Homo-oligomer: A and B are copies of this chain.
Amino acid sequence: MNVHLLTIGDEILLGQIVDTNSAWMSRQLNLNGMNVTGKSSVGDTAADIVSGIAHAATEADVVIMTGGLGPTKDDVTKKTLAELFHTPLVFHPETHARIAAYFEKVGRPMPPSMTDQATLPESATVMINKVGMAPGMWFEREGKVYISLPGVPFEMEYLMSMEVIPRLRERFALRPVVHRTVLTAGEGESNIARRLETFEDALPSNIKLAYLPALGQVRLRLTAQVEHASEEQALGIELDRRAAELSELLSDIVFGQGDSSLEQVVGEILMAQNKQFGTAESCTGGYVAHLITSVPGSSKYFPGSIVSYSYEMKEKLLGVNMATLEKYGAVSEEAVVEMAKGALDRLGVDVALAISGIAGPDGGTPDKPVGTVWMAVADRNRHVAVKQLFGRDRLKNIQMTGTYGLNLVRKFLLREV
């Protein structure tokens, strides 16, 4: 079953916002057995919307539109849909009551523009939006389905998850897709692909392997379409076996399975081992602490960090010897090991990560070019230090260092280094 995603709105064409909705929608639709065969964007005029829908429907069974539904959009999308599907716009009491109840709850008067939000095409099946104002709408014509959703990401995500996907699966009698995701860090997509050549060749045709790369990380997703309800369990077992085989082949770079992030996995290990963790950061400037604390509940294992950007702060806050810094430089094995030990002491933690490097764009030397980063992890008994050479882009260097640093902590905690 083929889906076309159509975003409506000048803000997309003008480049004022990046369209993150359609990547999210594609992944969810894929995992539920639907193929996204095309995506397109059109402006806010009736003519653009009509021709956009016509183009979208040529190749797809389902057209999902996002955007163009806000109270400031003059309702052009809704009017256009009503005309296109030959149905009048009518007052929808349920939607009006829901919006009125919201404004009563927050104690503000309901703006007049909100009444228009409760005016909907009569033939549309209304999908209730419990996290925002504009509801979703579902139309059918000549065997094809046309869906209109608000463009606000969390409203779209709510309606997709709670309404659109369940309804589409029922409408097209779709079998579920079984999937397993294996998470890796520290190796690029093309190297992983080389290591998995034999594994991939041996995959049966009903199992697909996808590479989902991010900075310093690649998620490997195995999916299989369930053709008959009776085979779902067997396919799940088969995918578990393949995922285990894949994890074994890549055991040096696999850090988890499923939807976790590296910072979540590190947090889970810290909690399981009942250890407190902290960082001493130079070139990453607090970015690793930010990653760690982006996980809810991280205060259980993370009391704090020291960002020591200058020599003086490395000495004063972490107790690094000025002589070490002067002899070896701040970007050296000697300096990061002292920083890690200083963090153990000053933060009173069980495990510490220290980072010092040259993020760029300036500051490189012939033997320590921009992108050179030293990292050390230490506890009371031992430490490991590694050097990495990243690229020339400052922000990418900081982000890659974050991934590599957290992965080093993970391996240290599991005694893999």
Contact = CB atoms under 8 A, between A and B. Distances in A.
A306 B306 contact: yes
Contacts of A28: 15
A307 B395 CA distance: 21
A20 interface: yes
A299 B282 CA distance: 10
Interface string A206-223: 000011110000000000
Contacts of A37: 13, 43, 48
A298 to B, nearest CB: 8
Given A305-B307, A347-B313, A210 B360 contact: no
Interface in A268-297: 279, 281, 283-290, 292-294, 296-297
A303 B299 contact: no
A337 B73 CA distance: 44
Given A15-B22, A30-B15, A40 B43 contact: no
B287 A290 contact: yes
Contact of A40 (B40, B297, B305, B309): B40
B309 A306 contact: no
| Size range of the chain A interface in the assembly | 35 or more
A20 B39 CA distance: 14
A38 interface: yes
Given A296-B362, A309-B299, A212 B16 contact: yes
A106 interface: no
A1 to B, nearest CB: 14
A89 interface: no
Residue among A39, A43, A190 with most chain B CB within 10 A = A39
A41 B38 contact: yes
Contact of A41 (B25, B40, B289): B40
A383 B398 CA distance: 32
Residue among A25, A30, A294 with most chain B CB within 10 A = A294
**Top 7 closest pairs, chain A to chain B, by CB:** A285-B293, A286-B286, A15-B26, A286-B289, A304-B313, A40-B40, A15-B27
Interface of A: 12-20, 22-28, 30, 36-43, 48, 51-52, 55, 59, 72, 190, 210-213, 279, 281, 283-290, 292-294, 296-299, 302-310, 312-313, 316-317, 346-348, 359-362, 394-395, 398
